[in-house]
Amino acid sequence: DTGVSQDPRHKITKRGQNVTFRCDPISEHNRLYWYRQTLGQGPEFLTYFQNEAQLEKSRLLSDRFSAERPKGSFSTLEIQRTEQGDSAMYLCASFSGKTSATDTQYFGPGTRLTVL
Amino acid sequence: AQSVTQLGSHVSVSEGALVLLRCNYSSSVPPYLFWYVQYPNQGLQLLLKYTTGATLVKGINGFEAEFKKSETSFHLTKPSAHMSDAAEYFCAVNPNNAGNMLTFGGGTRLMVKP
**Secondary structure, 3-state, chain A:** CCCCEEECCEEEECCCCCEEEEEECCCCCCEEEEEEECCCCCCEEEEEEECCEEEEECCCCCCCEEEECCCCCCEEEEECCCCHHHCEEEEEEEECCCCCCCCCEEECCCEEEEEC
Q: What is the pLDDT of residues B40-63, one digit of tens each?
A: 878 899 999 998 888 899 999 999
* Strand pairing class (A111-115; A10-13): parallel
> What is the rounded distance in angstroms from the CA atom of residue A65 to the CA atom of residue A105?
23
Q: Does A1 have pLDDT greater than 80?
A: no
Higher-confidence position of B108 and A103:
B108
Using a CB–CB cutoff of 8 Å, tell me whether A42 touches chain B: yes
Listed residue (B46, B17, B25) closest to B34, CA to CA: B46
Q: Do B101 and A108 touch (CB under 8 A)?
A: no
How many residues are there in chain B? 114
How far apart are alpha carbons A61 and A44 in whole angstroms?
A: 11
Q: Any CB–CB contact under 8 A between B70 and chain A?
A: no
CA of A113: which chain B residue's CA is closest? Answer: B41
Cα–Cα dist A68/A57, whole Å: 12
B47-65 burial, b if ≥16 CB within 10 A, otherwise e?
A: bbbbbeeeeebebeeebbb
Confidence category of residue A22, pLDDT binned at 50, 70, 90: very high
Question: Judging by DSSP bridges, how do beta strands B10-14 and B108-113 pair with one another?
Answer: parallel
**CB-based contacts of A110: which residues, under 8 Å, 6+ apart?**
A6, A9, A37, A89, A90, A91, A92, B41, B42, B43
Q: Provide the pLDDT confidence category of residue B101 given band limits of 50, 70 and 90.
A: confident
Closest chain B residue to A39, measured at CA: B106
CB neighbour class for B90 (10 Å; exposed up to 12, middle 13-18, buried from 19): buried
Return the number of other C-beta atoms located less than 10 Å from residue B74's C-beta.
29
Nearest residue of chain A to residue B96 (CA atoms): A101
pLDDT, tens digit, 9 for 90 and up, residues A36-90: 999 889 999 999 999 999 999 998 889 999 999 998 899 999 999 999 999 999 9
